[in-house]
Chain A
Amino acid sequence: MTNISNAFKNKKAFIGFVVACDPNFEKSIDYVKTLADAGTDVIEIGVPFSDPIADGPVIQEAGLRAFKNGVSTKRVFEMVAKIREKTTVPLVLLVYLNNIFKYGYDKFFSACQQLNINGVIIPDLPVEERSEVAVFAKKADCSLIPLVAPTSGNRIKKIVAGTDGFVYAVSSLGVTGARDRITTDLDTMVSNIKRFTDAPIAVGFGIHSPEQAVEIAKTADGVIVGSAIVKIIAQEGTHAEEKLIDYVSNMKKALKQPETNRI
């Protein structure tokens, strides 16, 4: 069992997301620690890309703030090194393929291994192109977290084959960002995925409220919240600790409700 799948053991996991170097290098390190202490089970760190085609406006703007603070892939690894002095929380990088490609596949995953980065989510790497990266990830014992979309249908089987971390189920088409209503039939989607893998399934894209979390956790093994957390950081800047703790506590409480854990 990997470090990541442990995070799902006997509970519904809450997965949080921050953008590296937002609002600045030091503070984004502190916020990872804050989120972990408040009970976040897995933390995704976003590596900013100049052209983030899978991301909505909230995360795009965070990326622009991070660029002003001099973010780069190398800087993200320096950040994780500092984080690892403070917490063992499972960490996952969300990074576009070109950043990894330019850094060098081998060098990138070696750095992940060295820093105990447990997984990588690559939004622009479909299963068709996975093999060129997978060999390096495997060598470094780093999970490639596959994404399944509402439209994946008969692609699901090959997408989730060999998953050793968790499956990222994308709740809605389009880009990241909070949505009031998720129209995808998540129950069916999650059970379709479960037909092909024993790996835990976490649902992300558009999730922000405890009510949504309760609903999703009835079938899924975890929820992923990105834009809602990034928005708190955008609003509170370098003083976001309190709001982050409140937010995570509420989401964790929702995920602990007995009805959530019934199945």
Chain B
Amino acid sequence: MQNDLKKEQKAGRFGEFGGQYIPETLMHEIDRLVKAYNYYKNDPTFKKELTDLLHKYANRPSLLYHAQRMSKDLGGAQIYFKREDLNHTGSHKINNVLGQILLAKKMKKTRVIAETGAGQHGVATATVAALMGMKCEIFMGEVDTKRQSLNVYRMRLLGAKVHSVTTGTGTLKDAVNAAMQEWASRTEDTHYVIGSVMGPHPFPTMVRDFQACISAEIKKQLINETGKLPDAIVACVGGGSNAIGAFYHFIKDKDVRLIGCEAAGKGVDTEKHAATLERGTTGIFHGMKSIFLQNDDGQIDEVYSISAGLDYPGIGPEHAELAAQNRAEYVGITDDEAVEAFEYLAREEGIIAAIESCHAVAYVKKLAPQMSTDQIIVCNLSGRGDKDVAAIARYRGEKIYD
């Protein structure tokens, strides 16, 4: 009995991390969501509808592509890219959004809200809301609306209302704050589509489950092609949804190295970075106990990255636990390294990937030469880079405005 109770309290925990640290005004809705998710995740009709959408609308399974030129150029491990950038809407975000909005529909919601950093999650949410006939409002930090103005227009085109959030730092964490506040005031008809493996339970688990198709496909595709498991999986981490998606089905395969690449911005020893696991400490924020960049008083830091999608002061609780267990490694990649990888990948393989994903590519560039040619790295290309082209041009001193 005592044990059962303990188990019950531990739902949504990853070691000491996770939990449900949110205001009581939202708990009733969170309880409903937990129940609905636990029911529908095993419901054959729901599963079939979601699989159909993933296959026929989102373009899954995504390709696993052997980057031979790059492998040869780096002279070490064979590099494979998981092409989430080829999904409809151009990133892995669609996997989670299809799942959550389908669930919201089952829960009889008529309106969805979401936060967005780079705009990819906002675009995916606006897209699926249009597809399913839901009203949609997106919260985006004011700074990010400027960095990613094309995505703002894209969301409007899809029928969504975009709120520019001016409080705090005007970036991703403030967009999350604003979306949570909006949700607290209106849960009856509204579902909050959290875009990453963060927030209160059930979000970290639910979003991971919706993203886990990435690693399930990688495993199948790579075994089909090579008969082997990869030696390493590399993915970028902000909140950590594409990374956990790429890691999940390999967590138990202890010989597969799992490597998350955080945004080191101008360098982890400067004040301008978002390298949560390298420089953060345990805290409680945005509904979860996890690792955060914060000061000694528990005030959340302002963080920085060239990439609006990695510009977040925390990380999903499952990553915090994978790091604590030393099951996954987390490394920092600077702006300069990411931009260089962005250009390298375009030239070498003809792929313009998102600046977020290029944090992972940059690490692959360092790792591959240290490995032998019969070893395999799978790098998750979480998104495409069209949205970043103008910003990168400006970074290089070109005068282009989008």
Contacts and interface: CB of A to CB of B under 8 A. Distances in A.
A73 B297 contact: yes
Contact of B181 (A102, A155, A174): A174
Contacts of A93: none
Q: Is the interface of B mostly helix, strand, loop or mixed?
A: mixed
B300 interface: yes
Interface in A149-181: 149-153, 155, 159, 170, 173-175
B25 to A, nearest CB: 4
Nearest to A61: B167
Given A173-B184, A175-B184, A124 B28 contact: no
Contact of A153 (B28, B281, B298): B28
B180 to A, nearest CB: 5
Interface in B2-35: 9, 19-25, 27-29, 31
Given A98-B284, A151-B29, A175 B22 contact: no
A78 B236 CA distance: 43
B285 interface: yes
A72 B297 CA distance: 6
A155 B31 contact: yes
A51 B168 contact: yes
Contacts of B181: 53, 174-175
Nearest to B299: A50
Contact of B23 (A50, A74, A126, A159): A126
A196 interface: no
A218 to B, nearest CB: 24
B20 A129 contact: yes
Interface in A55-85: 60, 67, 72-74
Contacts of B370: none
Among the interface residues A53, A54, A131, A153, which one has the most CB atoms of the partner chain B within 10 A?
A53
Interface string B162-182: 000001100001100100110
Which bucket holds chain B's interface residue count?
35 or more
Contacts of B174: 51
Given A101-B298, A174-B185, A151 B167 contact: no
A159 B173 CA distance: 29
Contacts of A98: 283-285, 292, 294, 298, 300
A126 B34 CA distance: 15
Contacts of B269: none
A185 interface: no
Contact of B24 (A50, A100, A126): A126
A51 B28 contact: no
A173 B298 contact: no
Given A101-B284, A128-B9, A175-B184, A50 B28 contact: no
B105 interface: no
B296 interface: yes
Contact of A123 (B23, B186, B294, B299): B23
B373 interface: no
Contacts of A100: 298
A14 interface: no
19 contacts: A49-B299, A53-B181, A67-B299, A74-B297, A98-B283, A101-B282, A102-B294, A123-B23, A124-B21, A124-B287, A126-B21, A128-B19, A129-B19, A131-B9, A149-B23, A153-B28, A155-B31, A159-B24, A173-B186
Interface of B: 9, 19-25, 27-29, 31, 167-168, 173-174, 177, 180-181, 184-187, 281-287, 292, 294, 296-300
